[in-house]
Chains A and B, each alone.
Chain A
Amino acid sequence: MSKDDFFIGWAEPPKVDRRFFLGTGLGLMAGTAATAAGVAALQRPVGPGDWNMGEIREWRGIATAEPYGMLRTLDLDGTPRTALLGCQGKCGVSAKIGALAGKPVIVKGSLIQRGPHTMIAVVDGLDWIREDTGGTIGDLAFPSPEPLFEATLNGEILDSKCWFGAMRPSEGKVHKSCASLCIRGGIPPAFYVKDRKDQKALIIMTPGGYGHNKDLLPFVADPVAITGQIQRFGDLFLLDAPVSAINRI
């Protein structure tokens, strides 16, 4: 090596270093682009769903606080449809429905939707719900849960709000902390079922007709098997099972 070949940071770099640096720099750039593309392309599909936060609107229907905050309203085609209710953050609103449960109400918020699953993220403040003095209950009364069958299902407990579209992706271990906070705060927990044919379904979880809360936290986002009763609740399905019926796989 000649003196001219010796790199000193505070001096002008030798030609050989400049050539090497240019070649290595271009190589690293190409490698960077290829790595970025490769790592990004291999990500799992995150699922559909969207939260149109900017579009605040009102829905008319019947509210309930049990097992979770819900609104039964009429879809565009006139069929009754159930939307879960949540706040703007990681909290439920069932405790705030109070005396308006079972009455015609108007709820203000934005829609989170994934396929047939919907949640209304209600606006902050006190005016998110008010009695609809001109409304009638009619066909919108919440039905009693109708037992269908007993089953043991494999899947993952997650929070309905994120899975409906508030976050994408919204499952697995990386989402565990978020799902725990959501469920702890009162967002309805759901059981995301994947059967042997990889068919997927989402079932809202209840123990004995009431809402789960912190009791589920040890199992959130882990692969579990749950034995319980599947019930039809209007256009929703419920999985009625106590925490003792949950087993980590």
Chain B
Amino acid sequence: MSHDYKAVQWTPFKKRFDLWMLAGIILYLIGFIVVGEVTQPPGESIHPVQAVMRATGTLAFLLLTFILCIGPLARMTDRFKPFLYNRRHLGVTTFLIGLIHAALVMMWYHGFSETNPFVSLFISNPRYESLSGFPFEVLGFGALLIMFLMAATSHDFWNANLGPGVWKALHMGVYVAYALLIAHVALGAIQFEKSPAYVGLLVAGATSVFALHVGTGMMTLRGRDRPETDGWLKVANVTDMEDARAKIVRPAKGEAIAIFRDGDKVSAVSNVCRHQGGPLGEGRIVDGCITCPWHGFQYRMEDGQSPPPFTEKIATYATRIIDGVVYVNPEPNVPGTPQTPSQIGATS
């Protein structure tokens, strides 16, 4: 909910999550470096700087792949919602790991010479015209820049001040960053480390992200063609609406609508949370308020306003029930406008 801005809004669960995350990161880095050392032939060893460089590079790629899978997985099963809730910490951590990788590369490969390392980054490999010879470091640099912008604006302060639309658009840049990262790995490390397993890992990661997003995207599109009656959209039979939960309707124009049932009342609000655009219709009624499944932002059913002292508002919609069927008017009211709920069992 809207609040005074703290660096991190710690909760006990968030602390536990971060401990698990740190343990996993340490496990990966130590495991990579130790196994990489002991599996080299006798008399050969990876230079420690390059071992850390490789460990952080591979970890950043794997973490970003996992992060991008969380959103679709959380749409498919509620059990992944806790990962979604803590995704921001994973994202910032991934940027920091990528930053360590990049700093080591700049120091090790582009440093120790009279040429400025940032100039060297762009000129040391001039084969921009070649696909296989393309200077892949530049692609990684681009991905890191995008991730920096995202990490720097990840706090709710920026979400509130940039506005949810701009903030969301900015953070959709993660897909550009991931595409750059895929190209960075494909045109870089895999040109040297030619084991098919590396190619397999890269393809599996990219395919997982793509397939999960396409799959959940198709789930979203499935509800678009709803029959209309006098401009009202059919939602569902009252008996099919679970108490404290919602049905989501997607009009041809405008935002998706979440139609909630709370006991014998039915109300409709925008499906888009004002915080980070979370799908309110996948949330539920908690203590009389619609509660976003992503970060727990709450809105009153009757007017789409967050309970005081919070100030967020979302659009409300008119509903009606005819012969046991719920309908919603797709024309939104101004956010925060009171809208009388439809009463189940009453004559409309």
Using C-beta atoms within 8 Å of the partner chain, give the interface range for chain B. 35 or more
Contact across chains for B82 and A172 when beta carbons are under 8 A apart = no
The chain B residue with its CB closest to the CB of A38 is B197
CB B190 to nearest CB in A, in angstroms, measures 9
Contact across chains for B39 and A181 when beta carbons are under 8 A apart = no
* Chain A residues whose C-beta falls within 8 Å of the C-beta of B112 in the assembled complex: 88-90, 181
Contact across chains for A32 and B27 when beta carbons are under 8 A apart = yes
- A46 contacts chain B at the CB level, 8 A cutoff: yes
* Chain B residues whose C-beta falls within 8 Å of the C-beta of A174 in the assembled complex: 188-189, 191-192
| A13-21, A129-137, A235-243: which lies at the interface | A13-21
- A138 contacts chain B at the CB level, 8 A cutoff: no
Contact across chains for A218 and B124 when beta carbons are under 8 A apart = no
CB B204 to nearest CB in A, in angstroms, measures 11
- A interface size (C-beta, 8 A): 58
Given A8-B291, A39-B32, A175 and B109 contact (CB-CB distance below 8 Å): yes
Q: Looking at A9, A41, A167, which has the most chain B CB atoms within 10 Å of its CB?
A: A9
- B45 contacts chain A at the CB level, 8 A cutoff: yes
- A95 contacts chain B at the CB level, 8 A cutoff: no
- B131 contacts chain A at the CB level, 8 A cutoff: no
Contact across chains for A6 and B113 when beta carbons are under 8 A apart = no
- B217 contacts chain A at the CB level, 8 A cutoff: no
- Write the A1-12 contact mask toward B (1 if CB under 8 angstroms, else 0): 101011111111
Contact across chains for B78 and A178 when beta carbons are under 8 A apart = no
Contact across chains for B108 and A178 when beta carbons are under 8 A apart = yes
CB A34 to nearest CB in B, in angstroms, measures 9
- Write the B29-46 contact mask toward A (1 if CB under 8 angstroms, else 0): 101111110011101111
The chain A residue with its CB closest to the CB of B194 is A44
CA distance A71 to B244 in the complex (A): 84
Contact across chains for A10 and B28 when beta carbons are under 8 A apart = no
| B7-15, B95-103, B166-174, B229-237: which lies at the interface | B7-15
Given A35-B28, A180-B125, A9 and B46 contact (CB-CB distance below 8 Å): no
- B133 contacts chain A at the CB level, 8 A cutoff: yes
Contact across chains for A39 and B82 when beta carbons are under 8 A apart = no
* Chain A residues whose C-beta falls within 8 Å of the C-beta of B12 in the assembled complex: 12
For window 148-203 of A, CB contacts with B under 8 Å fall at 167-169, 171-178, 180-182, 184-185
The chain A residue with its CB closest to the CB of B79 is A20
- B126 contacts chain A at the CB level, 8 A cutoff: yes
Question: Which residue of the partner chain, among B29, B33, B81, B192, contacts A7 with CB atoms under 8 Å?
Answer: B81
- B136 contacts chain A at the CB level, 8 A cutoff: yes
CB B85 to nearest CB in A, in angstroms, measures 4
Question: Which residue of the partner chain, among A9, A16, A217, A222, contacts B14 with CB atoms under 8 Å?
Answer: A9
Apart from the given pairs A13-B13, A36-B32, A181-B109, 15 other A-B contacts in the complex at a CB distance below 8 Å: A9-B85, A9-B86, A17-B81, A40-B36, A40-B55, A41-B35, A44-B194, A45-B40, A48-B43, A168-B44, A169-B192, A171-B192, A177-B120, A180-B124, A180-B125
B residues whose Cβ falls under 8 Å from a Cβ of A: 9, 11-14, 20, 23-24, 27-29, 31-36, 39-41, 43-47, 50, 54-55, 58, 62, 78-79, 81-82, 85-86, 108-110, 112-115, 120-121, 124-127, 133, 135-137, 187-189, 191-195, 197-198, 201, 244-245, 283-284, 286, 291, 293, 295-296
A-B contacts, 22 listed (Cβ < 8 Å): A6-B283, A6-B291, A7-B78, A7-B85, A9-B296, A13-B13, A32-B24, A36-B27, A36-B55, A37-B32, A39-B32, A39-B198, A40-B33, A40-B54, A46-B45, A48-B43, A90-B112, A167-B50, A167-B108, A171-B192, A172-B191, A181-B110
